[in-house]
Structure 1
Amino acid sequence: MITLEDWALIRRLVKDGVPKARIAERLGISRTTVMRAAASDSPPRYERRPSDSTSFTPYEKRVRDLLATTSDMPATVLAERVGWEGSITWFRENVRRVRAEVRPQDPADRLSWAAGDAAQCDLWFPPRKIPLEDGSRVLLPVLVITAAHSRYMTGRMIPTRKTEDLLLGSWELIQQFGRVPRRLIWDNEPGIGRGQRRAAGVTEFAGTLATKIVQLRPRDPESKGIVERRNGYFETSFMPGRSFASPADFNTQFTDWLTVANQRVVRTIKASPVDLIDVDRASMLPLPPVVLHLGWRNQVRLGRDYYVRVDTNDYSVSPTAIGRIVDVAADLERVRVRLGGRIIAEHERAWARGRTITDPAHVAEAAVLRHQFQQPRTLTAVDDGLGRDLADYDRAFGLDEASA
């Protein structure tokens, strides 16, 4: 095989009109080699002939059989199963080649999003525990909704991932858009539903908004990739260097940061979300004209201990309502108890679990009622003119004559 310099020299001499036989004699090569070099448009290079057999060949069929039943089996496990004793690096390279041939393919289409058509919803769990009222620190979910066309982001931390809090949070974030996306895209979040079954209240929520809730099939992250990528963006751009005193502090900082983040240019759409949100909003549905009754709602008969439960926490109620039916309602911020439409108890909602929240005024009322109940009851005679002598009854029944 000739060198790159010989190939270049041959082509130059041929162009200069030097006979091929003289070139071959000068370089000490055959005339055939000179003719091939002159006819070639690229320099010569060495190509090793592929070998039909390698050290992996005796194990390949067994590896293919194992991958056909378990396509994600690790290479180290495969090496142990087939008895491989050579280089694990060489084995991994061959397993990677075989796995790509055996594994079923799941192509992901590139999606386009029309204005106003969809908003992607997800729960993001910030990798930092938030301090609560009882001194505990826990990881809390953040509900995030991103308009698919404009990439406009909204989000807020919520107490739980239960249906009541998911719908409350969704309604609050949708109001920030000022309009209703035609579709709300979720994965299989239990608080929204599983499969074709929606959680209680979700269908009514979607019907009131005139929107459609779409839950994706398992292992289909591409259809919700916009909001998924935002979760990673939050962790790398919002979280570093921040500390939070409470969930309310987190929401304040997050809301302020989103205002700035929505002004940044998104590379894929070459525009900032605030520049496109008006176009997105114009194609969305109007907000419903009716008030949405969302959140935690229940009717209970108030017991002697004058407490009602919301989620896992107990809240005190005026003991004057003991034994009567009261209406309990809670949103993301407040817990209210009504009797006949009149509020008889109101508390700030607790984010910690298993707490008892007591209003001192209710304890004082209970003490007064308990004292009154424990006082001895005295009967007083009342002369209302309706009293009657018992002898009249004796005469009426003839008892006085019998005794005589």
Structure 2
Amino acid sequence: MIGVEDWAEIRRLHRAEGLSARAVARQLGISRGTVLRALASDRPPVYQRPLKGSAVDVVEPAIRELLKQTPTMSATVIAERIGWDRGLTILKERVRELRPAYLPVDPVSRTVYSPGELAQCDLWFPPADIRLGYGQAGRPPVLVMVSGYSRMITARMLPSRTTADLIDGHWRLLSGWQAVPKVLVWDNESGVGQGKLTSEFAAFAGLLAIRIHLCRPRDPEAKGLVERANGYLETSFLPGRTFAGPGDFNTQLTGWLQVANRRHHRTIGCRPLERWEADKAAMLALPPVAPPNWWPLHTRLGRDHCIRVDTCDYSVHPRAIGRQITARADTEEVVATTRAGETVAHHSRCWARHQTITNPEHAAAAEILRGQAIRQRASHARARGLAGLAPDDLGVEVEQRQLGSYDRIFTLIEGGAAKEDT
């Protein structure tokens, strides 16, 4: 058998040089028949070893019969039924080739999203310790949202996974888009709803005029877009970065997403940014009312002049003690106002847990008011001739009884009961 080089040379001598087959055979020192076969073939010669057959060929009819009865029968069971005593590798390969002919055809359709149709949402917990203040560090959740049509990704770290923080996180991300997809896809997150939306998220969906779809339990494929986005963030954004705090994390994440959304996406065959305008145009308009204002905390301020948000206490100006106040909190700040609209507290949201946040002005005002109250009670007590306050508060000297007199009164010392000392 000649090689590829000889085959090419034969064809060149015959076609380009015009030599006859006999002349080519004489020049190359090969037979004329070999030259004629080379000229008759348009493809280079390839060595093929003759097939010898396989030991499985003998039992193939029995395998087909078993697969005809039970198409899903495993290769190990088939080997047992036919008495196979050789290696399982060649048997499994033959069963793998034959099985599709006996299984019903089950094609799947590729999921195609329309512009503005939906966005998938999920919480990503980055494996990095974030400094939260007060000597604490933690791993707060990151709300991730991916648009189905354009694959545009947006994300933001939140203080907690409570319903209020999730709603505020949604609002801030959608405000960045300046548009709202018709459907938000969520799994069974407790802050959103498990089997049924929480009343707060149902109201949020009503405000946005959209539908929030809750996936079935243990069905991560239903939101595969955002699951892959979580993995992309963990492998491409997080490595090698350090963060001074949650604010720094969100700043770095926002800057990185501006670059990431310009990358070429293999599935859609273009950059997400190239599809974004069409996607955004088909979405709903963002409503003008901010949802966090729907769920304020109404309470009468106690003497400790503090309100609790999540696990932290925030001071309120003590002049509001005993009055009805309204506290509103989001992922950035905590604000308390009176019914008259006067702001009596304004704090940055604390991400650490179980802390008391005190405004120095509130503490100083409380000290002044406390002194005024003590002096006022002392004045009233003197006017009534009462001693209801402590001696130090009234400035009155009181005789101190000897402790031994109590022992004699209650017969705790020899001599029994004694007359009360004067």
- Give TM-score, length-normalised by structure 1: 0.69
The RMSD of aligned alpha carbons is 3.8
- 1:5-404 correspondence to structure 2 within 5 Å: 43-50=49-56, 109-195=109-195, 197-294=196-293, 297-340=296-339, 341-375=341-375, 376-377=378-379
Task: Output the CA distance in 2 between the equivalents of 1:243 and 1:221.
Answer: 30
1:192-249 residue CA offsets vs partner (Å, 9 max, x unmatched): 1011x21131011011111110111123222211111111111111111100110000
Tell me the SS of whatever aligns to 1:198. Answer: coil
Task: Output the CA distance in 2 between the equivalents of 1:219 and 1:133.
Answer: 36
Task: Output the CA distance in 1 between the equivalents of 2:148 and 2:342.
Answer: 43
Tell me the SS of whatever aligns to 1:213. Answer: strand
Q: Assess, with a 3 A threshold, how the Cα gap between structure 1 residues 259 and 372 changes in structure 2: closer, same or farther.
A: same
Query: Where in structure 2 are there 5+ consecutive unaligned residues?
Result: 1-47, 60-72, 74-87, 101-105, 384-422
Q: Assess, with a 3 A threshold, how the Cα gap between structure 1 residues 332 and 296 changes in structure 2: closer, same or farther.
A: farther
Tell me the SS of whatever aligns to 1:242. Answer: coil
> 1:369: how far off?
1.1
Task: Output the CA distance in 2 between the equivalents of 1:173 and 1:135.
Answer: 29
Q: Assess, with a 3 A threshold, how the Cα gap between structure 1 residues 360 and 296 changes in structure 2: closer, same or farther.
A: farther
Aligned residues with identical type, % of pairs: 47
> 1:51: how far off?
9.7
Tell me the SS of whatever aligns to 1:146. Answer: strand
1:54-95 residue CA offsets vs partner (Å, 9 max, x unmatched): xxxxxxxxxxxxxx9xxxxxxxxxxxxxxxxxxxx99xx99x
Asked if the contact 2:168–2:292 (Cα under 8 Å) also holds between the matched residues in 1, the reply is: no
Tell me the SS of whatever aligns to 1:263. Answer: coil
Task: Output the CA distance in 2 between the equivalents of 1:242 and 1:289.
Answer: 36
Asked if the contact 2:164–2:292 (Cα under 8 Å) also holds between the matched residues in 1, the reply is: no
> 1:135: how far off?
1.6
Task: Output the CA distance in 2 between the equivalents of 1:333 and 1:110.
Answer: 41
> 1:140: how far off?
1.2
> 1:290: how far off?
3.2
> 1:45: how far off?
2.2
> 1:109: how far off?
4.6
Task: Output the CA distance in 1 between the equivalents of 2:124 and 2:131.
Answer: 18
- Give TM-score, length-normalised by structure 2: 0.66
Task: Output the CA distance in 2 between the equivalents of 1:285 and 1:227.
Answer: 21
Asked if the contact 2:167–2:292 (Cα under 8 Å) also holds between the matched residues in 1, the reply is: no
Asked if the contact 1:165–1:295 (Cα under 8 Å) also holds between the matched residues in 2, the reply is: no
Q: Assess, with a 3 A threshold, how the Cα gap between structure 1 residues 227 and 377 changes in structure 2: closer, same or farther.
A: same
Asked if the contact 2:313–2:356 (Cα under 8 Å) also holds between the matched residues in 1, the reply is: yes
Asked if the contact 2:187–2:214 (Cα under 8 Å) also holds between the matched residues in 1, the reply is: yes
Task: Output the CA distance in 2 between the equivalents of 1:107 and 1:317.
Answer: 64
1:230-273 residue CA offsets vs partner (Å, 9 max, x unmatched): 11111111111100110000000000000111111111111111
> 1:146: how far off?
1.0
Asked if the contact 1:141–1:158 (Cα under 8 Å) also holds between the matched residues in 2, the reply is: yes
Asked if the contact 2:292–2:329 (Cα under 8 Å) also holds between the matched residues in 1, the reply is: no
> 1:43: how far off?
4.7
> 1:139: how far off?
1.1
Task: Output the CA distance in 1 between the equivalents of 2:110 and 2:282.
Answer: 22
Query: Where in structure 1 are there 5+ consecutive unaligned residues?
Result: 1-41, 54-67, 69-88, 381-404
> 1:354: how far off?
0.7
Task: Output the CA distance in 2 between the equivalents of 1:221 and 1:198.
Answer: 19
Task: Output the CA distance in 2 between the equivalents of 1:248 and 1:46.
Answer: 71
Task: Output the CA distance in 2 between the equivalents of 1:128 and 1:46.
Answer: 60
Task: Output the CA distance in 2 between the equivalents of 1:307 and 1:268.
Answer: 53
> 1:133: how far off?
0.8
1:112-155 residue CA offsets vs partner (Å, 9 max, x unmatched): 00001011111111111111111221111110111110111111
Asked if the contact 1:141–1:157 (Cα under 8 Å) also holds between the matched residues in 2, the reply is: yes
